[in-house]
Amino acid sequence: MSENNFIKAAILTAVITAGSIVGYELWLRNHGYSVSYDDDERLWANERKEVYQPSDDEVVFIGSSRIKFDLDIPTWKQETGTNAVQLAMVGSNPVPLLHDLAEDKNFKGRLVVDVTEVLFFNGAPPFQERPTKGLNAFKKQTPSDKAGYQISHFMESNLVLLDKDFFSMNAYLKKFGFKDREGVSSGDLPFPWEFDLTQYNRQSKMNDRFVKDTNLQNQVRMIWASLGRALKAPPPSPTHLDSMFAAVKADVDKIKARGGDVLFVRTPSTGPFWMGEQQGFPREKYWDRLLKETGCPGIHFMDQESTAHFQCPEFSHLSPSDAVIFTKDLAQLIQAKGWKFTNKKTI
Amino acid sequence: MLFNSYTFIAFFAIIMILHHLPFFKWTTKKVILLIASYIFYAAWNPPFILLLWLSTVVDYFVGKALYKQENKRKKNLLLVISLIGNLGMLCFFKYGGFLLENFTVLVNAIGINFHPAKPNIILPAGISFYTFTTLCYTIDMYKKHSEPVKSMLDFSLYVTFFPHLVAGPIVRPPQLATQFLTPKQGTRTTIMKGLFLISMGLFMKVVLADGMLSSSADMVFNTPSSVLPIDAWLGVLAFSGQIFFDFAGYSTCAVGAAMCLGFWLPQNFRSPYAAIGFSDFWRRWHITLSSWLRDYLYIPLGGNRKGELRTYVNLMTTMLLGGLWHGANWTFVVWGGLHGTYLCVERLFRPKKVGEIDPIPIPVTTASLAPGFMRSKTMNRFLLALLTFFLVNITWVFFRAQDFSTAWRMLSSMFGRANDGIAVLPTLNMVKVAVVVVGMVATQWFLRNTTVLEVAQKTKWWIVSIAWTLMLLAIILSQESSSSFIYFQF
């Protein structure tokens, strides 16, 4: 190949690569796929830096996936006049995040903690993995990371194909469906793409197809059932529970001592999921004790007529339309617990 | 700044435009490159740029004085000042915690109750690399092996030039500093070749190291219990591939980036897993480090000029210190010690010829494992390469394991000495490791006596284009977030 031919190779490479990318992007869009952000530690770290606004202007949310689906952020803004900083992490124990905010002397705001008992009272390392990654990304962010994040945000906002969980090379390789050896788990959960579309503000939404398609809903219900079997473990020991409550109380007290406020919320679940949760985590031993030990107000979905009858399509998360209704109810219930929203516009 | 980040793509595009603008003078372009290199470095941790400045200023002036100084005592004093400055900084930041930890163990062992607070020292990125770059300049000036760099600007650029700054290749003053004397810019062909190398380097890092191998290596090495032999071997092979693709990928990007700007950097890897024997391995793996160790440690220690026994001692010393250079942990020392042992054994069995002279620069030693009669047969040579690869893999266990208990657990799992081993790797991971590692060894065997660019030159242009396109598409589709290069921690 002569020297000139290297230039010819480069030009052809640029043309085919650009053509392939454009073609793939158009194909995805034509098949109904839309932009969904990678809900990774960088997106979380970007949100984490927003917690320092005055408490009149924002409320911080931590927890697991339920509050990410159930809190409709635009509705929350409309109802309270405050911004919602969404710091919940899917499939994670939020206690490390509570601890991080408690240790951060500059955080003096209001905090809503979503409680999904099976995660909140679970100290196993896998459930702390995401919080640890997020906190590391926030604390160790370099100038290069920050600049890279901005470019990455621009790219992700415009390209559907940049969805690591569904359209990356490894996501396609997983579709070969190799059978694993006994006792080995890849840890991959085959959620359908339609189930969780992440927005830039970290709100999660099911799309219309998911809300209508019972096959897709059943696919997720099967995942919950398999997780239920896999995570079957003896309940936390009394000593472990005592120390957990003590740690949570200590963190809550630190936030309160700085003028902040903490409120717990139990978001809706339905069907077999809710039944299993009631059996595994009896309310009086967990939820009631949590409120008693910490001295914080709490909102349990079953305590209110307005929130007790939601139907979660896959038993654990609200549909987008129900999330709007739930958020309106939540805003009112929180105010009834004594929180004031001075920025709220009255008509 | 990482090569595998959007930030670098934007940064490099700007630098390429500024560097190739026709109306800037050469000095202005050098200033732009220098500022860019500082930005590249500061993008991690801005305060550490002060260390880089300190090292540059001290070595520039001390180097000049060393070259001019004829008084032996004053010359030695200047050398000591430079060594203390450079090695002192390295010792504090890299080995401070390690030294204190070992000192604590030692004094407690003799009955003194001493428990200091754990030092919280952050390791500046690339300190080991730029320290070696400045050290070789000082030593060269002391020995008058090359002329001092005339301007502070050229010297600063020699130390800081961003393609090699953080993880090499480790460059010598005559290799790079002289390139700044006359205007340089990429031609259309060198820019295209440079971009091809950058694409290949990113493919190695993003697709192969991060996308295909790292999770398997992590899974196996992070399992707190013993694993089945097949899992253990695949975990080690995965790391073997990961460390090669990670580091060789970085070096390839560095060479490519420099080439785009019109500069040449030395090659750092030459199909190391096709090596026949360990002296051959060290001619092919991290070439600029092994030649540095040969020229600035092994030969000054006496090399092979002071008798057989002393040669072996020098070899071991060099490899043990080479191991320690990689990280402040005894596991790295053992890794270096194993390589030293391999080299000594190889030297012991090498065929001896009267008046034998090393044909090409050979890092560390001149031995060869392969007896002459075997070297003539391709299959035998391939089998010896596989044996070398097998033994290299044993050393990677100590390199990757965070402590000795993990290393022993891995070794006993690999050799079936663990009774309670469990299966940990999903089938897809096993397939990925097997395909990539077999492909890696086969490709390196094919490229054993040539380079990728040489092969590309001989191949039809449209075939090169298809391969290039596939690499780019794989990089885009792998969507791996910009994870750091393994060698940055060294």
DSSP-derived secondary structure for B270-339: S-GGG-SSHHHHHHHSSHHHHHHHIIIIITTTTTTSS-HHHHHHHHHHHHHHHHHHH-SSHHHHHHHHHH
Query: Which has more confidence, B90 or A261?
Result: A261
At residue B484, the pLDDT reads 61
Q: Which two tokens stand for residue B11?
A: 């940064």
Neighbours of B86 (CB within 10 A): 24
Using alpha carbons, select from A51, A62, A71 the residue that is nearest to residue A95. A62
At B100-132, the pLDDT tens digits run 888 888 888 888 877 777 777 777 778 888 888
Main-chain dihedrals φ then ψ at residue A197, nearest 5 degrees:
-100, 120
Using alpha carbons only, how large is chain B's radius of gyration in Å?
Answer: 23
Please list every residue in chain B whose beta carbon sits closer than 8 Å to the beta carbon of residue A5: 461, 464
Query: Which range in A44-53, A67-76, B171-180, B325-334 is most confidently predicted, on average pLDDT?
Result: A67-76
User: Would you kindly state where each structural domain of chain B is located, as residue ranges?
Assistant: 21-184, 191-353+373-489
pLDDT band at residue B490 using 50, 70 and 90 as cut-offs: low
Q: For chain A, what's the residue count?
A: 347
User: To the nearest whole angstrom, how far is the Cα of A292 from the nearest Cα of chain B?
Assistant: 38
Q: Could you tell me where the DSSP H helices lie in chain A? A: 3-30, 41-48, 65-70, 73-80, 95-103, 117-120, 129-139, 143-158, 164-167, 169-174, 208-212, 214-230, 238-257, 271-280, 287-294, 320-336
Q: Cβ distance A186 to B215 under 8 Å?
A: no
The ipTM estimated for the assembled molecules is 0.83
When pLDDT is averaged across residues B22-31 and rounded to a whole number, the result is: 92
Yes or no, beta carbons of A144 and B43 under 8 Å apart: yes
Using alpha carbons, select from A178, A181, A187 the residue that is nearest to residue B423. A181
Using alpha carbons, select from B146, B267, B144, B150 the residue that is nearest to residue B201. B267
User: To the nearest whole angstrom, how far is the Cα of A160 from the nearest Cα of chain B?
Assistant: 12
B235 three-class SS: helix
Query: Which has more confidence, B43 or B15?
Result: B15
At residue A86, the pLDDT reads 96
Q: Cβ distance B308 to B415 under 8 Å?
A: no
At B204-230, the pLDDT tens digits run 999 999 999 999 999 999 999 999 999
At A86-119, the pLDDT tens digits run 999 999 999 999 999 999 999 999 999 999 998 8
Main-chain dihedrals φ then ψ at residue A64, nearest 5 degrees:
-120, -155
Q: At what angle do helices B188-202 and B461-478 cross, to 10 degrees?
A: 40
**Torsion-angle region of B161 (φ positive above 0: left; ψ -120 to 50: alpha; else: beta):** beta
Question: In a 10 Å sphere around its CB, with 0-12 CB exposed, 13-18 middle and 19+ buried, how is residue A325 labelled?
Answer: middle
Look at residue A210 and tell me whether its pLDDT is greater than 50.
yes
When pLDDT is averaged across residues B74-94 and rounded to a whole number, the result is: 86
At A225-271, the pLDDT tens digits run 888 877 677 777 888 889 999 999 999 999 999 999 999 999 999 99
Main-chain dihedrals φ then ψ at residue A179, nearest 5 degrees:
-80, 130
Q: Cβ distance B108 to B117 under 8 Å?
A: no
Nearest CA in chain A to B191: A7
**Which residue matches tokens 């730029």?**
B130
Contact residues, A window 117-146, toward B, CB-based 8 Å cutoff:
142-144
Question: How does DSSP assign A39-62, residue by residue?
Answer: -SHHHHHHHHTTTTS-TTTEEEEE
Look at residue A299 and tell me whether its pLDDT is greater than 70.
yes
Please list every residue in chain A whose beta carbon sits closer than 8 Å to the beta carbon of residue B474: 169
At residue B361, the pLDDT reads 41
At B123-161, the pLDDT tens digits run 777 888 888 899 899 999 988 888 899 899 999 999 999
- The DSSP 8-state label assigned to residue B168 in this structure reads -
Look at residue B273 and tell me whether its pLDDT is greater than 50.
yes
Q: Distance between CA atoms of A144 and B482, rounded to whole angstroms?
A: 11
Question: In a 10 Å sphere around its CB, with 0-12 CB exposed, 13-18 middle and 19+ buried, how is residue B486 labelled?
Answer: buried
Please list every residue in chain A whose beta carbon sits closer than 8 Å to the beta carbon of residue B196: 6, 9-10
B422 three-class SS: strand
pLDDT band at residue B387 using 50, 70 and 90 as cut-offs: very high
Question: In a 10 Å sphere around its CB, with 0-12 CB exposed, 13-18 middle and 19+ buried, how is residue A129 labelled?
Answer: middle
Please list every residue in chain B whose beta carbon sits closer than 8 Å to the beta carbon of residue A184: 423-427
Q: Which two tokens stand for residue B239?
A: 């790391």
Q: Cβ distance A117 to A277 under 8 Å?
A: yes
At residue B487, the pLDDT reads 61
Contact residues, A window 177-216, toward B, CB-based 8 Å cutoff:
178-186
Using alpha carbons, select from B198, B205, B148 the residue that is nearest to residue B178. B148
At residue B28, the pLDDT reads 94
Q: Cβ distance A76 to A84 under 8 Å?
A: yes
User: To the nearest whole angstrom, how far is the Cα of A162 from the nearest Cα of chain B?
Assistant: 7
How far apart are the two ends of chain B, measured CA to CA in Å? 16
Average model confidence (pLDDT) for chain B?
87
When pLDDT is averaged across residues A132-148 and rounded to a whole number, the result is: 89
Query: Which range in A163-172, A179-188, A262-271, B63-72 is most confidently predicted, on average pLDDT?
Result: A262-271
B392 three-class SS: helix
Q: Distance between CA atoms of B387 and B393, rounded to whole angstroms?
A: 10
At B316-368, the pLDDT tens digits run 999 999 998 888 889 999 999 999 999 999 888 876 655 544 443 444 444 44
Q: Cβ distance B95 to B328 under 8 Å?
A: yes
Q: Cβ distance B423 to B347 under 8 Å?
A: no
Give the catalytic positions of B in this structure. 326
User: To the nearest whole angstrom, how far is the Cα of A122 from the nearest Cα of chain B?
Assistant: 20
At A323-344, the pLDDT tens digits run 999 999 999 999 998 888 887 6
Helix (H) or strand (E) holding B22: none
Q: At what angle do helices A143-158 and A41-48 cross, to 10 degrees?
A: 110
Third-level CATH fold of A41-155+164-336? Rossmann fold (3.40.50)
In chain B, % of residues over pLDDT 90: 54
For residue B461, give every residue at least 6 positions away whose Cβ sits within 8 Å of its Cβ, in sequence order, or none: A1, A5, A6, A8, A9, A12
Q: Cβ distance A317 to A215 under 8 Å?
A: no
For residue A8, give every residue at least 6 positions away whose Cβ sits within 8 Å of its Cβ, in sequence order, or none: B461, B465
At B429-462, the pLDDT tens digits run 999 999 999 999 999 999 999 998 889 888 899 9
Q: Distance between CA atoms of A290 and A297, rounded to whole angstroms?
A: 10
In chain A, % of residues over pLDDT 70: 97
Sign of the torsion formed by the C-alpha atoms of B168, B174, B180 and B184: negative
Yes or no, beta carbons of A8 and B6 under 8 Å apart: no
Main-chain dihedrals φ then ψ at residue B419, nearest 5 degrees:
-80, -30
Rounded to whole angstroms, what are the CA distances from A36 to A160, A171, A202? Answer: 7, 15, 10
When pLDDT is averaged across residues A147-174 and rounded to a whole number, the result is: 89
Task: Count Cβ–Cβ pairs < 8 Å, chain A vs chain B.
Answer: 127
Q: Cβ distance B488 to B125 under 8 Å?
A: yes
Nearest CA in chain A to B215: A186
User: Would you kindly state where each structural domain of chain A is located, as residue ranges?
Assistant: 1-31, 41-155+164-336
- The DSSP 8-state label assigned to residue B484 in this structure reads P
Contact residues, A window 57-86, toward B, CB-based 8 Å cutoff:
none
Q: Cβ distance B209 to B249 under 8 Å?
A: yes
